[in-house]
Chain A
């Protein structure tokens, strides 16, 4: 994992959520962002874009976030890529399940666009501090 968080691959099928997240992460957060509307699109883009982190919606039509994470983990080029799930379903049992699948953290939707970038940075920094 690189020490600085610069490039984020953002996977979300809902255009309204994409729009507000792009404002939060690019305009406010200063990240280099590539947005994909599906898990399949993300799998096509991930190696070429080479993100430091993936923000991955859980519930998407077709290939959902969990299946997308599974495909990322099955590819040697992306097996260790940090993934943060974004979900409107954030019961403790679900969060524990997502972590057990290998998600670095879970961000709850709806998110506050004014703090989303700070949330992502905090997750990144924790991942570098924790053993």
Chain B
């Protein structure tokens, strides 16, 4: 495959990934809003899985800030999960806000 063809494919994949990011951000925000109302470990594990996938994919598509912010939020989620039935959520919510910012910048 020629370099321009490859470049075109990479650009198209990157564009598609960026276009899907807002929907993923909406899912994260919905889970976070539920957790803020009522902590639930199963929902937190689902949030952690989403964060893990973002952390593992963002930089591969050219968005290292998304990976980095998702990793920080995943770590904060792990801490919250280890924090008992009613863990402090401020660090997790702050990390999710930072991730939302990174996603918004990726789309701009």
**Within 8 Å CB of B55, what residues of A?**
88, 109-110
B53→A16 contact, CB < 8 A: yes
A61 contacts B by Cβ under 8 Å = yes
Among B6-14, B27-35, B82-90, B94-102, the one that faces the other chain is B6-14
Give 1 or 0 for each of B58-92: 1 = CB within 8 Å of chain A CB.
11110010010001000000000000000000000
Taking A28-B1, A88-B71 as known contacts, 8 extra A-B pairs with beta carbons closer than 8 A to each other, sorted by chain A number, are: A20-B61, A27-B1, A88-B55, A109-B56, A110-B55, A110-B60, A110-B67, A113-B60
**Within 8 Å CB of A23, what residues of B?**
9-10, 13
A16→B6 contact, CB < 8 A: no
A17→B52 contact, CB < 8 A: no
A27→B9 contact, CB < 8 A: yes
**Within 8 Å CB of B15, what residues of A?**
none
A94 contacts B by Cβ under 8 Å = no
Residues of chain B at the chain A interface (Cβ within 8 Å) = 1, 6, 9-10, 13, 17, 20, 49, 52-53, 55-61, 64, 67, 71
**Within 8 Å CB of A14, what residues of B?**
53, 56-57
Q: Give the docked Cα–Cα distance between A23 and B57 (Å).
A: 14
Q: Give the docked Cα–Cα distance between A19 and B17 (Å).
A: 10
A-B contacts, 28 listed (Cβ < 8 Å):
A14-B53, A14-B56, A14-B57, A16-B17, A16-B57, A17-B53, A17-B56, A19-B13, A20-B13, A20-B57, A23-B9, A23-B13, A27-B1, A28-B1, A28-B6, A61-B49, A88-B52, A88-B56, A88-B71, A109-B55, A109-B56, A109-B57, A109-B60, A110-B58, A110-B64, A110-B67, A112-B59, A113-B60
